Amino acid sequence: MDFSVLELDEDLTAFVTEVDGFLDEHLTQDVLDEEWETGAGHNRAFHRALGAKGWVFPAWPVEEGGAGLDPLRVHLLDTELRRREAPTITKGTTGLSVAGIRAYANDDLKADVLPRIARGEVCVCLGYTEPDTGSDLAGVRTKAVLDGDTWTISGSKMFTTGAQNCQYSFLLARSEPDASKHSGLTMFLVPLDSPGVEIRPVHTLGGERTNVVYYGDVQVPDHYRLGPRGHGWSVLSEPLRAEHGIGRDDAHGLAEINPSGLTYFHTLERLLERTLHWAVTDVRADGASPIDDPLVRARLGQVALDVEASRNTPPPMGRVLASELLIRDSADIIDLVGPKALIGRGEDGALEDGVIEWAHRFAQGTAIYAGTTEVHRNIIAERVLGLPRYARYPRATPR
Ligand SMILES: Cc1cc2nc3c(=O)[nH]c(=O)nc-3n(C[C@H](O)[C@H](O)[C@H](O)COP(=O)(O)OP(=O)(O)OC[C@H]3O[C@@H](n4cnc5c(N)ncnc54)[C@H](O)[C@@H]3O)c2cc1C
């Protein structure tokens, strides 16, 4: 772990200036307002502008549609995108699918899709979860039946975030109903403009837009199969590891220590900044500000420590810690600030643009996505602590 401060030389400073200029031009207040209102996690024009610079996948070589940036510049670009709150959820799901596409799509499909992904013209959502299957992902029931050279896909997928922004779904389906659970699966890149695909919005408590996507006998040419039939679980393993922040290559020591908790501690950091601003600027009847109170300083100090603990705890523990500290601290901040903290953005008397109220709502869902905190506790128990897979309890004796 290297805690040294990053020194920016002239070239790097010029690069950051270039990024900021780009964001000033393309990440307009309208884009930010639209994201706040829709929770879409994406803005088509902004994403295309990133693609035109080669910044959707900035480390990819220029001839593959990237910008050939070195790891330090990629890190600086990511940091600026996050700091300026760019809507990049769909960019993220697209990135997770790419490992599967690169390794398992046929050459024609790769040649067709990857350059368009790099240019920002094509995005991909993750079609894993179903109404009855989330944590136990290998239990998916969406059917894929091959007839000649075409698959018929039927079923429904829950929480397909960003489907409305995407051209393809990276979809897990059951193709071999008689095979064992993990061996009966196949992955596809399903074109979302196929007849029979229906995308319906689901709006979460945290203000995000996700979707339920219905696949009604959707005809998908075998061309869109990723990897051999029945091997879907292997195709999915790398994207799942990436989502959980496991096994990353970090030769340059620049990667985030806690990638799977990044959005959560970034939200906590943003919440802390806003609460500090309130604590310094709010004036009470006696003329004092909240920050003058040592108890307020102690409670905000605890939040600052929690941001750092979340930032510096690796996966899989970091995913659990960052979510649970965000949930706890966002409630504590509402308790600290008082009833006004509950007034939403746009309403009379809203504090700090409604960020305090929003962060508390957003925090609740962080225990769920990308594997719940309970499921991650199982992962910690089994893979980190080496505990046995399932606790076995003696059967109850019938009375
Ligand atoms: C806003 C949002 C966006 C999402 N985006 C996507 C997306 O883009 N693509 C996608 O495919 N999915 C997405 N998901 C789905 C998400 O990954 C699942 O919701 C999650 O994996 C949990 O699955 P489930 O909802 O079916 O809950 P279940 O699996 O039914 O779990 C219910 C409860 O039981 C607990 N539980 C289940 N199994 C165990 C176990 N073995 N041990 C201990 N406790 C257990 C869980 O922790 C949970 O509390 C999203 C979810 C949300 C809320």
Q: What is the pLDDT of residue 107?
A: 98
* Alpha-carbon span 294 to 311, nearest angstrom: 26
SS3 92: helix
Q: What is the pLDDT of residue 245?
A: 77
Residues 271 and 349 in one domain: yes
Q: What is the CATH number of the domain that holds 213?
A: 2.40.110.10
Q: Whose CA is nearest to atom 25 of ligand 1?
A: 134
Answer whether residue 390 is part of any domain. Answer: no
Of the three residues 101, 118, 135, the one that is the final residue of a domain is: 118
Residues 176 and 285 in one domain: no
Determine the distance separating the centroid of ligand 1 and the alpha carbon of 116, expressed in angstroms.
31
Residues 112 and 130 in one domain: no
Q: Which atom of ligand 1 is nearest to the CA of 133?
A: 26
Determine the distance separating the centroid of ligand 1 and the alpha carbon of 158, expressed in angstroms.
10
Q: Which residue in 70, 45, 46 sits closest to 60, CA to CA? A: 70
Answer whether residue 397 is part of any domain. Answer: no
Say yes or no: CB of residue 365 within 6 Å of ligand 1. Answer: yes
Answer whether residue 375 is part of any domain. Answer: yes
Residues 156 and 105 in one domain: no
Residues 375 and 322 in one domain: yes
Residues 73 and 152 in one domain: no
Spell out, as residue ranges, where the chain has pLDDT lower than 50: none
Of the three residues 70, 90, 118, the one that is the final residue of a domain is: 118
Q: What is the CATH number of the domain that holds 40?
A: 1.10.540.10
Q: Which atom of ligand 1 is nearest to the CA of 131?
A: 26
| Alpha carbon distance, N-terminus to C-terminus of the chain | 58
Q: What is the pLDDT of residue 211?
A: 98
Residues 129 and 228 in one domain: yes
Q: Whose CA is nearest to atom 30 of ligand 1?
A: 134
Q: What is the pLDDT of residue 246?
A: 74
Q: What is the pLDDT of residue 296?
A: 98
Quickly list DSSP for 175-220. Answer: --TTS-GGGSEEEEEEETTSTTEEEEEEE-TTS-EEEEEEEEEEEE
Say yes or no: CB of residue 379 within 6 Å of ligand 1. Answer: no
Answer whether residue 135 is part of any domain. Answer: yes
Answer whether residue 244 is part of any domain. Answer: no
Q: What is the pLDDT of residue 397?
A: 63
Q: What is the pLDDT of residue 63?
A: 96
SS3 154: strand
Residues 147 and 73 in one domain: no
Q: What is the pLDDT of residue 230?
A: 97
Q: Which atom of ligand 1 is nearest to the CA of 93?
A: 8
Q: What is the pLDDT of residue 241?
A: 86
Contact 213, 159 (CB under 8 A): no
Of the three residues 67, 100, 118, the one that is the final residue of a domain is: 118
Q: What is the pLDDT of residue 394?
A: 58
Q: What is the pLDDT of residue 389?
A: 77
Residues 49 and 71 in one domain: yes
Q: What is the CATH number of the domain that holds 314?
A: 1.20.140.10
Where are the alpha helices (H) located in the chain, listed in sequence order? Answer: 10-26, 29-38, 44-52, 71-83, 89-104, 107-118, 232-243, 262-281, 294-311, 317-337, 355-365, 373-379
* Alpha-carbon span 180 to 176, nearest angstrom: 8
Q: What is the pLDDT of residue 33?
A: 96
Residues 229 and 170 in one domain: yes
72: containing domain: 10-118
Quickly list DSSP for 280-307. Answer: HH---TTS--GGGSHHHHHHHHHHHHHH
Determine the distance separating the centroid of ligand 1 and the alpha carbon of 145, expressed in angstroms.
26
Answer whether residue 241 is part of any domain. Answer: no
Answer whether residue 297 is part of any domain. Answer: yes
Q: Number of structural domains, the chain? A: 3
Say yes or no: CB of residue 371 within 6 Å of ligand 1. Answer: yes
Residues 109 and 139 in one domain: no
Answer whether residue 326 is part of any domain. Answer: yes
Mutate which of 135, 185, 244, 390 for ligand 1? The one with the most ligand atoms within 8 Å of its CB, which is 135
Residues 194 and 284 in one domain: no
ipTM of the complex model = 0.98
SS3 21: helix
